[in-house]
A and B are shown apart, each in its own frame.
Chain A
């Protein structure tokens, strides 16, 4: 893992002292840690009953019976008793409320800009994420530009955020906010034309500056192309471009995805959905179920505090629990080719996990703790085998 931004002593003083306290409570990072619980979900297809995994240097080194006996003996054990452990949630493209800093308002086409240039590791919003179960996120340029730039994978930390992968995806946008009346393009057809011209130039392999070079690289498969599109006409335009230039897009927003679902399936596009809200109509709440039935990869985006609720509402509307948990963890990591780093507790991934008193997709389950890179950044310490209200929740069943 790469730490690009050093801690700045002045602003970070409170965080540093908080981190020092945590270090006193938590085992040293140099020491191996074994985490045990009644149920450990390494990935949606790998669930351990009375499971354990070993953390070494902030990453998952071994899980289950693969843990060497000698290493287990020497490791510090954190026991969460009857709790359920799942991988940390991955928040797909977001600006974390910094739209102005993550969009160059005067220029519509800036594919070579990098989101990490505007990353503030001490941002308050970042510090709140662990409480919502988010252990990593894809910081992305704002959809206000037709071509916003290159996103990064970052993590909230125990003291400040860190950059896990500096350059991940290319963010484009066809949404209404990208069509700025104060500078071209002001229309959807103008926006599509701008992208088509740039892709044509990139594909031709001639001319162009760094911006066209980024597009050329993306078309060559170096990174995923993410297109913000909400309405069916925007989605159709994005799919037209994808078919024309031969890439499989990740469509963000996709409010009217149902209207172009056959095309989404045919072109193997993936979706990052807006958060689901309780007041939405059943047709909207059913969209994840439809996508799952059609085999479309999707994950939940938007606000961090609505991630879990979105998955719960999708399950309520008929989505399989496994698919819902995958949409919070593995799928977003996979869509952005970060599944070897985050999104599961398989060996080699960061030890980013959440502790719940029960199934995280049941609202009766309380969120007990969040760990990032093997360090507890939210909630209660382990070795407290009486998870919050677990007995009462069980009584309701």
Chain B
């Protein structure tokens, strides 16, 4: 007996024990035990006796263990959203930053893993607003893409330096390609990791790309005008397309209603044809109550199969409860009055026509399904005929034909509706102006210009239009004649002076490690250094619509940060550590 009791108790206690074990790491991670107070270690050594990162801190994605809070101490913390902090601290719990401030003024969790860089610099994880990382040559050269194409569908890890974005300090990247297609498709936002990338949930189609240029090679002005017209023509007929979609949507709604009516009528008929037996529904039953088929007309007075007498409980209605006598047969339980009423009901039903099946819809002008239900059927002969058809079955509705699926137009509609940013590659000033005109004429809410090397000539117009710019190739120097006037390195300063929001991007994956140098080049050509830092962190995050999660070191944002041994823009600056969502994605050996 004792054994049996133990066995019966074991499952419960075992379950409780398992739950406790599962919760233990979480409980200990939160537990502020004074004995575990950390002492900052010298120079980038994680805080533990072995000198190695503890497993909890290294918890990879998919792991169930909760990571210990991570604390980064550094000589200078550059939050971007505010002034640099000397002797700064960044505290990350889970995947978010919970505190940023000066050492001594920020509470450090007692069980935290502390990384200390006394001479180091901490920056937000870099945001590359344009890269072709994780794409291959076939995608980069695919001229057959269109607005329905999603780069996210063809991203892959190549295992070469084109994928080493995390080691370059890039924690967020927008993937696109410079294919020759006029409409290149939709770019994706990814989160580079040490061994590949993760898709940014909900941002796998983050913007639509158009190309309005043939590059910096020779081209005639008229040819460029034609290109602008070609791009503009993409927006022609969009409202008609929208109307088709809306009409179809309305038609589907109408169909749903008519089909429900149709089903209900037949259900009613079906139920009405059944022989009366039992009670149940009763005349007092409310509409739809107690019936198994959900929506539909009220089944007033309909007897329910197998239920005795009117007002039975199955009908859900009122009436006296049946007076059942288990010693009697069902026939003996029915009173004479009830039998008389049932007989009268049957007699009343006899003269009626049996329910007819709904006629199949026939093509041609006589198709009743296509006729307006408000109008009398064609060929009907006056009120008498109408009265004759009064109880005729409703016509089975035909499912409305959908307009042809056009993913590119759907994407363009999303652009016009502001649901999808539009990015146009335009190099020369006239191409940039063409893009601005399209944006203005088509009332595009979110327009971003890419590789706008000639943007300095029309910076004021760009600012007025409220358009953002993503610049690449700032290290390329002046182009060859006759386009030597376009110097990408000088454009950022002009845009900044005009108040245009702009991001500096690598453009190509193999330049990822040089992203800080691209910004440094802009500084050397007149851009203030804080604006350059913003152009590779917060501004691209804003342009990509993810600034609430990354781009600066602020409480509540992802724990994305880069630690360097020297100022980021120094040529010989080395990356010591990269955290993304608080996870270590790179650590210098």
Contact = CB atoms under 8 A, between A and B. Distances in A.
Given A278-B475, A316-B517, A396 B571 contact: no
A309 B528 CA distance: 21
Contacts of A315: 571-572
Interface in A380-394: 388-389, 392-394
A282 interface: yes
B532 interface: yes
* Interface size bracket, A side: 20 to 34
Nearest to A324: B571
B268 interface: no
B514 interface: yes
A316 B514 contact: yes
Contacts of A394: 529
A361 interface: yes
B47 interface: no
Contacts of A362: 520, 524, 569-571
A211 interface: no
Interface residues of B, number: 28
A395 interface: yes
B529 A312 contact: no
B278 interface: no
Interface string A302-323: 0001100100100110000100
Interface string B565-585: 001111110000000000000
Interface string B531-547: 01100000000000000
Contacts of A395: 528-530
Interface string A244-265: 0000000000000000000000
A86 B510 CA distance: 32
A321 B161 contact: no
Interface of B: 161, 475, 477-478, 508, 510-511, 513-514, 517, 520-521, 523-530, 532-533, 567-572
A366 B520 contact: no
Nearest to A303: B477
A11 interface: no
A389 B528 contact: yes
Interface in A324-344: none
Contacts of A397: 567, 569-570
Given A278-B514, A305-B477, A363 B524 contact: yes
B229 to A, nearest CB: 34
A364 B569 contact: yes
B532 A396 contact: yes
A305 B570 contact: no
29 contacts: A278-B514, A279-B511, A281-B161, A281-B510, A282-B161, A305-B477, A309-B475, A309-B477, A316-B514, A361-B571, A362-B520, A363-B517, A363-B523, A363-B524, A363-B571, A364-B520, A364-B570, A366-B525, A389-B523, A392-B528, A392-B529, A393-B569, A395-B529, A396-B523, A396-B530, A396-B532, A396-B533, A396-B569, A397-B567
A282 B512 CA distance: 12
Nearest to A279: B510
B475 A364 contact: no
A361 B573 CA distance: 12
Contacts of B475: 278, 309, 363
A388 B511 contact: no
A362 B475 CA distance: 13
Contacts of B517: 278, 312, 316, 363
A95 interface: no
A136 interface: no
Nearest to A366: B524
A357 B525 CA distance: 11
B522 to A, nearest CB: 9
A370 interface: no
A20 B571 CA distance: 39
A133 B231 CA distance: 43
Nearest to B531: A392
A279 B508 contact: yes
A316 B518 CA distance: 13
A316 B571 contact: yes
A362 B522 CA distance: 12
A391 B528 CA distance: 9
Q: Which 9 A-B pairs have the closest CB atoms?
A: A396-B529, A363-B520, A397-B567, A364-B523, A392-B528, A363-B521, A315-B571, A364-B520, A392-B529
A281 B475 CA distance: 16
A365 interface: yes
A113 to B, nearest CB: 29
A347 B567 CA distance: 36
B117 to A, nearest CB: 15
Contacts of A321: 571-572
Contacts of A363: 475, 517, 520-521, 523-524, 569, 571
A219 B111 CA distance: 73
Contacts of A278: 475, 511, 514, 517
A363 B570 CA distance: 8
Contacts of B511: 278-279
Contacts of A309: 475, 477
A312 B477 CA distance: 14
A81 to B, nearest CB: 17
A306 B478 CA distance: 11
A365 B161 contact: no
Contacts of B526: 366, 388-389
Contacts of B478: 305
Interface string A349-385: 0000000010001111111000000000000000000
A128 to B, nearest CB: 9
Contacts of B513: 316
Contacts of B572: 315-316, 321
Contacts of A281: 161, 510
Contacts of B514: 278, 316
A282 B168 CA distance: 13
B529 A393 contact: yes
A366 B568 CA distance: 17
Nearest to B510: A279
